[in-house]
Structure 1
Amino acid sequence: MGEILIGTAIFACLAGAALVSMVICPRLPEHHRQDDTGAVVRLAANLFVVMSSLVLGLMINSAKNTFETIDHNVHNFATQLILLDRSLRQYGPETEGARATLTAYLQRLVDATSLTQRTPAVANRLSELLLNKVGDELAELTPPEAKRAATLQSATQQLQRVIEQRWVLVGQSEGTIPVPLIALLVAWLTLIFASFGFRAPRNATIVGTFIVSGALAAAALYLIIDMDTPFSGPIQVSPAPLQRALAELRQ
């Protein structure tokens, strides 16, 4: 919902700037509407067009890298869960309770995946308690032989890696594009759209062009912001790795 509100506000700024400029321009004094004035306005707008293009390219690259990194970490997280379950199976039937708790934890992650959530499923506090419970159950085990002791130690280390990877995903869920940079880019685009309306003909075609252009530009920024937060909105990291891991744990 936050990204939608931001996109709507950006659209209002861009389309509104162009339409307001188009309405105000004919009311300005004659010397403000001369060709020399229009040429200077276009030169200033061209400067911000170049700067906006550079910043927009950097934002797209940053959002893409963030999305790909988190997607890779989710795959790694699912792999670590499978390996932990394999170690618990290898230990013996004494770990059935820990395996059931681990399966319940992963089930909560899969069920919590939603287009409307603001925080990643891995950050859920109740899910964290289930993961901690797995560690408590492992701590209560007393290996009767050296081989099982080594397996238990391996499982404990794998659980620690799972917990570490979980916190990595939680830390990466906030996004990396600074809000001031987004605000600055919107300000530049607003100025550019205002220059479009300066001395523009007042007809339905021009108005429609401004509205459509503002909507498309706002949609592009909305998608970039949404990609920068891969656990919320329509563009999300796929839960398929976690679903496959859950199927493995249930076998």
Structure 2
Amino acid sequence: MSSEWFAFLVAVAVFAAGLIGLLLQRVLPEQHTTGGSRDLIAAVVGLLTLLCAVVTGLLIWTAYGVYSGQNTQIQSLAAKVMQLDLALSDYGPEANPARAQLRDALAKTIDQVWGANESDSNFAANTFASALQNLREREKVLRDLHPSTDEQKQALTAALSASDALSQARMQMSFGLSAPVSYPLLLVVIGWVVALFWGFGLTARATFTSVIALGIGAVAVASAVMLILELSTPYSGQFRASPEPLEQALAVMGKE
């Protein structure tokens, strides 16, 4: 189910809970919604408001951390690619095949990640497998190099180190997408919000203004849920991580 549909269903459920509360407020005997009963309902509503605010904020922060972390990893990956390319450049013309292989692998990675439109769970699995494959291919190409000078030996050592760091960065990108948001916790919070709006309905008069306020609140809750879902899927959601650092690295590779 897409995040848009999920958020829409949340809005419907929350709004319906508020309307049910308004209906019960008119149907139930007065002693159930006035006096001590009203004070108790207000206290529970206050507790639920606090819980929803804290946990929803935590979920949004966690989802943003996933999004921000992937952008940081992309920048780190671009820097490590450039570091490896420069090390191969220092090695000399003998390393040109390795530089070409690195450039092709980067172009393929950009196309796979931002052109496939696959889910982030599939992206994580494919990224991990692709990182291992690229590591094996780079190691084979690098081990075929036979340095004859001290400068080439130093450059090859730096290239091997940069290659390991590059593969580690790719794997960290996939690990960062494993269960980014606790969906059971998200469902619990949605349950709290449904109960909260039900309580709002019980303590309010059934007027046009009350219905509009419930609708606005339901839309706000749905937008928060959608924000959590979208930020936690930085390669398939509306808020996509930018490939610009990798594209900039690709544009200058092989020119030194």
TM-score (norm 1): 0.86
* In structure 1, distance between residues paired with 2:177 and 2:249: 21
1:157 and 2:161 are equivalent in the alignment: yes
- 1:103 corresponds to which letter in structure 2? R
Deviation at 1:127, TM superposition (A): 6.6
Q: 1:73 to 1:19 in 2, by over 3 A?
A: same
- 2:52 corresponds to which letter in structure 1? S
SS in 2 for 1:113: helix
Q: Deviations over 1:66-103 (max 9, x none)?
A: 43333222211110001101111222222222222211
Provide the identity percentage. Answer: 24
* In structure 1, distance between residues paired with 2:253 and 2:58: 41
- 2:189 corresponds to which letter in structure 1? L
Unaligned 5+ segments in structure 1 are none
* In structure 2, distance between residues paired with 1:210 and 1:67: 31
- Contact preservation (8 Å) 1:85, 1:99: yes
Aligned to 2:137, which of 117, 133, 137? 133
1:77 and 2:106 are equivalent in the alignment: no
- 1:17 corresponds to which letter in structure 2? A
* In structure 2, distance between residues paired with 1:114 and 1:211: 38
SS in 2 for 1:234: coil
* In structure 1, distance between residues paired with 2:53 and 2:116: 30
- Contact preservation (8 Å) 2:131, 2:167: no
Could you tell which deviates more after superposition, 241-250 or 193-202?
Answer: 193-202
* In structure 2, distance between residues paired with 1:4 and 1:43: 33
Q: 2:14 matched to which residue of 1?
A: 14
Q: 2:67 matched to which residue of 1?
A: 67
- Contact preservation (8 Å) 1:174, 1:229: no
**Root-mean-square deviation (CA), in Å?**
2.6
Deviation at 1:153, TM superposition (A): 2.0
How many corresponding residue pairs?
251
1:240 and 2:244 are equivalent in the alignment: yes
- Contact preservation (8 Å) 1:67, 1:230: yes
Deviation at 1:24, TM superposition (A): 3.9
* In structure 1, distance between residues paired with 2:119 and 2:254: 29
* In structure 1, distance between residues paired with 2:177 and 2:5: 19
Q: 2:106 matched to which residue of 1?
A: 106
Aligned to 1:221, which of 218, 225, 238? 225
* In structure 2, distance between residues paired with 1:150 and 1:250: 20
- 1:118 corresponds to which letter in structure 2? S
* In structure 2, distance between residues paired with 1:205 and 1:142: 79
Q: 1:194 matched to which residue of 2?
A: 198
Q: Deviations over 1:22-73 (max 9, x none)?
A: 2344333454344432332122111111122222233333334443333222
1:54 and 2:54 are equivalent in the alignment: yes
Q: 1:210 to 1:250 in 2, by over 3 A?
A: farther
- Contact preservation (8 Å) 2:60, 2:227: no
Deviation at 1:125, TM superposition (A): 4.1
Q: 1:126 to 1:51 in 2, by over 3 A?
A: closer
Unaligned 5+ segments in structure 2 are none
Q: 2:118 matched to which residue of 1?
A: 117
Could you tell which deviates more after superposition, 113-122 or 55-64?
Answer: 113-122
